[in-house]
Amino acid sequence: MDLPEQLRYTTDHEWVSVTGDRIRVGITDYAQDALGDVVYVDLPAVGTVVAAGEVLGEVESTKSVSEIYAPVSGTVLSVNETVTAAPEQLNSDPYGAGWLCELAPTDPSAPEALLDADAYRRLVGG
Amino acid sequence: MAGDLRRSPLHDWHVAAHAKLVGFGGFEMPLAYPTGTVAEHLACRQGAACFDVSHLGTVEMTGDDAFERLQGQLSNDLRRIGPGRAQYSHLLDEDGSVLDDVIVWWVDDTTFDVMPNATNTSRVRNAIGGRDTTAQRAVVAVQGPTARAVVGAIWPEAAAVGRFMVAPVAWRGTACMVAGTGYTGEDGVELAVPVQVAAAIWQALVDAGAVPAGLGARDTLRLEAGLPLFGHELGPGITPLQAGLGWVVGWDKPLLRAREALAAERERGPARRLRGIVASGRRPLRDGATVLFDGRAVGRCTSGSFSPVLGRGIALCLLDAGPGGEALPEGTEVAVDLRGAHVPATVVAPPFVPLPSPAPIAGR
């Protein structure tokens, strides 16, 4: 299971990367494997304001529906339109081309409170 | 995985192939291989896929009275076929509800192999008698436009068993039973083989180019082909007429279970009918979702998912029939309520994709 050291993670199996004052959000390798082939992605509108833990979007496989939760409070800056048309990128490249959206955190230090790679590895029993 | 699940004779192969296993019908079976459900699905539509369907039941009926017992208990009319042929049929409740759907393999004058759904094997056996031989064999389905070529490369006699034909065929001296049946809408064969040769045959099929496919792909394939699944399109309260399977009813038989209920329903017209709906976008439609027309509920989805071929959400649904007994016609624009979102969709007549003829389960 691929689990990059430099990322932050949530207990809902999302990853967060921090670049300056914006964060990028996706689902982990563990999550994509558990879901199976992703065939549909529903992303929030740019400008949406979300609180931590609120539903940010939805990821569906042939069999199941999973909600994506905001890892921190913030405003949606951009979404990955490519995965809307090609959701299989969540399976093939979950930490790269399969990213979901970017947020401007309300509190720039909030991501620091998320899980680090070691803590997430323990969570998923890796 | 729960320890009380039964295992297929091919279990070790699936584990070694890193299949994702899931409990289904009391068995632990592959949901998908690392290939993934969508690629497995497309392999079956474009080439050849192999499926381990050993979880299906086999009830062997033998004896001079086997024909009469089946003819009396199951809905279809065996006089439409003969020895060496397969037929799709229903076990009906007195109210016309479908208690199970089965494939009957008519092996010879006095031998039939009846294949119920995994969860219904004992129910069917209680109704028809016979011997449960499920544990003695594996069943492998090879399906797709090149399925016969792939099977033919390793086992020409099996590949030669025609559509809806049944034949005893030996694999290197071991007696097996082969039928030209399946559940994907594609051409192909189903191989019922003794446990001790199952792994060798499976491996030979894979080496010959069949792509192993799991139950996930099997479900999206049968849905795309418009084929019913017990517990979804068939079950308590759902009759063959509602499911659009009136041809499964042997009206001319002297003894037909639920004849009165079915005749009355035929006379007044079914209160609902099975239809297909195709979403305008990729979002998968889901089992249980309400179908709306002009803002009012007109039915519900019985199976729903994503069509890898169409790239759209699809569903089978039971739609209320109007006063004339007709449900909404093809082309009608409807909406499907998916957790509060109204997804636009269009009524169609399944199958959802072009399939080879004859009709996939028309074992008449």
Give residue-wise pLDDT tens across range B303-359.
999 999 999 999 999 999 977 667 899 999 999 999 999 999 999 999 999 998 755
Considering only the C-alpha atoms of chain A, give the largest distance between any 2 of them, rounded to a whole number of Å.
37
Dihedral sign of CA atoms B294, B295, B300, B304 in order: positive
pLDDT digits (tens, 9 = 90+) for A10-22: 999 999 999 999 9
Please name the residue that has the structure tokens 């029993």: A125
Three-state SS for B217? Answer: helix
Q: A62 and B38: CB-CB below 8 Å?
A: yes
Structural domain total, chain A: 1
The topology (CATH level 3) of B2-57+134-224 is Gyrase A; domain 2 (3.30.1360)
pLDDT value at position B359? 53
Residue B33 DSSP one-character state: -
Q: Where are the beta strands (DSSP E) in chain B?
A: 6-7, 20-24, 27-32, 49-52, 59-62, 85-92, 98-108, 111-115, 131-132, 137-143, 166-171, 174-179, 188-194, 211-212, 272-279, 290-293, 296-307, 312-320, 333-338, 341-348
Q: Are B318 and B300 in contact (CB under 8 A)?
A: yes
List chain B residues with CB under 8 Å of A37.
Answer: 32, 36-39
Q: In this model, does residue B189 exceed pLDDT 90?
A: yes
CATH of domain B59-128: 3.30.70.1400
List chain A residues with CB under 8 Å of B283.
Answer: 40, 42, 60
A37/B contact by beta carbon, under 8 A: yes
Mutate to test the interface with B, among A37, A60, A81 (most CBs of B within 10 A): A37
Percent of all residues in chain B with a pLDDT value above 70, rounded to a whole number = 97
Percent of all residues in chain B with a pLDDT value above 90, rounded to a whole number = 94
pLDDT band at B363 (very low <50, low <70, confident <90, very high): very low
- Nearest chain B alpha carbon to A42: B283
List chain B residues with CB under 8 Å of A61.
Answer: 37
List chain A residues with CB under 8 Å of B284.
Answer: 39-40, 60, 62, 65
pLDDT value at position B296? 94
For residue B32, give the nearest of A36, A42, A88 by CB distance: A36
pLDDT digits (tens, 9 = 90+) for B52-94: 999 999 999 999 999 999 999 999 999 999 999 999 999 999 9
Burial of B123 by CB count in 10 Å (0-12 exposed, 13-18 middle, 19+ buried)? middle
User: Rounded CA gap, B116 and B350, in Å?
Assistant: 23
pLDDT digits (tens, 9 = 90+) for A86-99: 999 999 999 999 99
The topology (CATH level 3) of B269-348 is Elongation Factor Tu (Ef-tu); domain 3 (2.40.30)
With respect to residue A2, please indicate whether it lies within any of the assigned structural domains. no
Q: Which amino acid is residue B121, in one-letter code? A: T
pTM of structure: 0.95
A42/B contact by beta carbon, under 8 A: yes
pLDDT value at position B3? 63
Residue B264 neighbours by CB under 8 Å, 6+ apart = none
Average pLDDT, chain B: 95
What's the domain range around A61?
A: 8-124
Considering only the C-alpha atoms of chain B, give the largest distance between any 2 of them, rounded to a whole number of Å.
63
For residue A69, the cross-strand partners are A55
* Nearest one of A31, A24, A39, A30 to A89, comparing CA atoms: A39
Q: Which residue has the higher pLDDT, B82 or B361?
A: B82
Q: Are B244 and B299 in contact (CB under 8 A)?
A: no
pLDDT value at position B360? 47
Q: Return the CATH number at A67.
A: 2.40.50.100
Q: How near does any CA of chain A get to the CA of B119, in Å?
A: 20
pLDDT value at position B357? 72
CATH 3.30.70.1400 placement within chain B: 59-128
pLDDT digits (tens, 9 = 90+) for B40-51: 999 999 999 999
